Structure 1
Amino acid sequence: MTLVVIGANPTVARAIAELSGDQVHVRLPGVPVLGLDGWDASGVRKVFTADFRDAPAFLTFVDEVLAPMAPAAVVSLTEPGLEPAAVAAERLGARGVDPQVVRVTRDKLRMRRVLARRAPHLNPAFAPGDAPGAVARLFATHTPVVAKPVDGFGSRSATLFERPADLPPDRGTAATLFEQFVGGVEFSVEALSLNGRHTVMGIAQKGTTGGFVEVSHIMPPPSLDARRRLLVERAVAELLDALGLEDGPSHTEVKVEGDRVTVIETHTRLGGDGIADLVRLTTGVDWRCAAVGWAVGAEPQRAAAAAAAAATVFFTAPPGRVTYVAPQPSLTHGSVVEWDVPVRPGDPVGPLRSSEDRLGRAVLTAESPAECAAAVAELMSLRVVTTRRDR
């Protein structure tokens, strides 16, 4: 049985190495998969290079290279690889995620329109950017309003506006989606779907900047009681049913205000920002392996949890040039189990516009969600990276 994995990063490649059967990795040109280069077994090459972002060229690769292998499944956990993997699986008659579901989740406007028909209570008010009348009505009844790219991810270019007069001209196109800004606390929900049954693997509470860039995740979420957790799980199941996702992983972002759960977005992959590490630490499940292994019938394996609660914290600093990087601290609450701050004095720091502009991260563990939240607050109160504005 052959499993084809599109665009796996080194962490995913290592996590799934022990899955039974043959594995074939497809990587982009010039992008090495550390630990897989030169991996051959019985004279069969396991790593191929193909630009899966080029649809015609990739379909030729599928027909000429992958089809003779008769793979059992084709999957991906990277955003650019989701649709190519789904299309390849369908073309080869292999197991994978339905391409139509992938397309709907990658197009935020299409997702909103599907929910408007099938689960409208999960939607905020919204309007497409190329419908000026609808945008004007949205601003007249719901402010502030969030403008976001229809196909964006990673907090890219999401901006809050109070008045339509503040909108730059480039926002008035089909590439932008306008949504009512929803209050409340934001959560990330990791789920695995099998034969239409959705199992939540973990829920993380998010901390964000005013510009929507994520700066912390805490699992389990300290502000979500058992009753509201059930509301969140039911809302995610409704969402996935509405979109038609029957098999595979999902990462869904929701906001909870009172008893109302509003869907922000969803993806047919696991969450980034090391959320898979939080699932492993708090439940014992290797979420990366489970998010791929379902396609070849592998059951999620659960080891002993390492901690009752865990968190990731991301470091930021004002634009300028780095003058000082603090060493790993000892915390009053919880423990630091990973510390990665790659910037050095002299490095330039630009504005914080997306998750790619963050400067490093730490992973924390604690004996309870409340203590973990205290550890996050303690660490975020420290100045880990100091900058000085260039003159």
Structure 2
Amino acid sequence: MTSPTSTRRRIAVVGGHSHSVMSAKDLDLDVVLVHMPGMYEEMLQDHCERIVHADLSDADALLDVLRPLHEERPFERVLTTSEAGAVPTAVVVEELGLPGNSVAAVRALYDKVLTREALARAGVSPVRYQVVESAESLTAFLDTIGGRIVVKPVDGTASADVHILDDKEAATAAWDALSAAGYPRALAEEFLDGPVISVEAFSFGGRHLPVALMTSVLDEYLVEMEHSIPGAYGAEWTGELHAQTVALLNEVGLQEGPTHTEFILTPDGPRMLESHSRMGGGGTPSILRRAYGLDFSRMFLSVPLSIEELPEHAPQAVGAGHIRFFAPEPGVITGFDGIERLTESGIEVRQAPVGTKLPGVPGLVELSGADTGVLLQMNVGDTVPAIRAGWDRAMGYVIATGQDTPDAARRCAEVDEILRFHTAPAADGARDA
């Protein structure tokens, strides 16, 4: 633990995982990490001044742990790359009188209705939508659109509780499910047909630098199972995608930090789904670094403190990065095949220690030097869940660097073909995945 008289610059980081703070020592920073018990890798103890616990979604709880530490030795910044901690962290920043993004700016990206309103003011990305508070209002919107719609929580994350509807019966069932999950209102939108693409950008001093396009492969539940940087498609829309992203960030008044902005490439052009005042999830910073040589995780700490400058222009891609999450058959893991074959071919394979559950997307730092790397988050005896939301992707992943996007994706696909999870239902019988 650092002495209270230390002269090193001091910041607090709310939530996140190892990649978010691994550059702190190199940047000569003391970091107080605020996190939930059991939701961070223990290795972070070696990279932080201290780790304190609080509910990331509760601004008062964050203030209770950070205010005394700030009075003891002031923080220069309180930062977060956590979705749940986005608005509460902005509240803390304002309460402590620190520079950073305003509560209004962060909330405008966190609340999907406010995002739609900001887009309308900016005059970009028109999408028909309505806030619904009952099965009746949802059904009425369905009738208005006259076709497929999507309904989702106003402040949801990880593709959880998202419903695609075609008829009144499905609308009633979706509203019942949203109500049971505790949502008093939801956002209904026209269904946007097309592939998913996102803009990974970084801001400082109100200047926004779009860096990369990322494409994603979604499963039937709209959970992102693969990411590619540079994107596998949509390059012809780069200018429009960048322009819409910058227009939104200017409209809400975002000042600094990484952003992740998602679009659907419809037949009528790009239509924005949502934006976030954080780095993209699912290993995005790692594949961005593999593709562009630009480290958003380091910039997350260095640029707001003016230790390093935000580049004037985005660099050219030097390669490509791809990540693919494993999706074995649900059930109890009885064994694995292919691990030895992978290691013999020079692929780095890491596996969680028996009896541990690694949160988030662990291992990205440890695998950063591997051209192709595998992280297995489970062991024999662990239970594979059905994937219904992003947090269900808890089995592991393969990440690779390639000469170009198809090459990186091919490397991951080949690993997924070789590695076999054997699972069995909880009762009897056996299945291979």
Fold equivalence (TM over 0.5): yes
Aligned twin of 2:399 = 363
Equivalents in 1 of 2:69, 2:200: separation in Å?
33
| AA matched with 1:90 | E
| Cα deviation 1:99-126 (Å, max 9, x = unaligned) | 111122222222223323333x414222
| AA matched with 1:257 | T
Alignment: residue pair count: 381
| AA matched with 1:160 | I
Shift in Å at residue 388 of structure 1?
A: 3.9
- Higher mean C-alpha deviation, range 201-210 or range 256-265: 256-265
Q: Is it true that 1:322 corresponds to 2:329 in the alignment?
A: no
Aligned twin of 2:26 = 18
Q: Is it true that 1:224 corresponds to 2:234 in the alignment?
A: yes
Aligned twin of 1:2 = 10
1:8·1:33 contact (CA, 8 Å) conserved in 2?
no
Distance 1:18 1:307, change over 3 A: same
Equivalents in 1 of 2:289, 2:29: separation in Å?
24
TM-score norm. by structure 2 comes to 0.78
Structure 2 stretches lacking a partner, 5+ long: 1-8, 346-369, 429-433
Shift in Å at residue 65 of structure 1?
A: 2.8
2:300 counterpart SS class: helix
Shift in Å at residue 215 of structure 1?
A: 0.8
Aligned twin of 2:306 = 297
2:100·2:255 contact (CA, 8 Å) conserved in 1?
no
2:397 counterpart SS class: strand
Distance 1:98 1:374, change over 3 A: same
| Cα deviation 1:234-278 (Å, max 9, x = unaligned) | 111122122221222111111112451111111111011111001
Q: Is it true that 1:204 corresponds to 2:223 in the alignment?
A: no
**Percent identity over paired residues:** 25
| AA matched with 2:269 | R
Shift in Å at residue 378 of structure 1?
A: 4.7
Choose from 337, 340, 347 the match for 2:375.
Answer: 340
Q: Is it true that 1:253 corresponds to 2:262 in the alignment?
A: yes
1:316·1:385 contact (CA, 8 Å) conserved in 2?
no
Aligned twin of 1:80 = 84
- Higher mean C-alpha deviation, range 358-367 or range 15-24: 15-24
Equivalents in 1 of 2:383, 2:248: separation in Å?
42
| Cα deviation 1:166-214 (Å, max 9, x = unaligned) | 2322436534222222111111221111222211232211001011011
Q: Is it true that 1:127 corresponds to 2:130 in the alignment?
A: yes
Equivalents in 2 of 1:216, 1:30: separation in Å?
26
TM-score norm. by structure 1 comes to 0.86
Equivalents in 2 of 1:195, 1:352: separation in Å?
39
1:16 counterpart SS class: coil
| Cα deviation 1:142-162 (Å, max 9, x = unaligned) | 532222222211121222221
Equivalents in 2 of 1:347, 1:188: separation in Å?
33
Aligned twin of 2:358 = none
| AA matched with 2:24 | I
Aligned twin of 2:192 = 182
Equivalents in 2 of 1:39, 1:369: separation in Å?
33
Q: Over the residues paired in the alignment, what is the CA RMSD in angstroms? A: 3.0
Structure 1 stretches lacking a partner, 5+ long: none
Q: Is it true that 1:136 corresponds to 2:136 in the alignment?
A: no
Equivalents in 2 of 1:129, 1:75: separation in Å?
33
2:57·2:84 contact (CA, 8 Å) conserved in 1?
yes
Equivalents in 2 of 1:274, 1:171: separation in Å?
29
Aligned twin of 2:322 = 311
Equivalents in 2 of 1:36, 1:341: separation in Å?
20
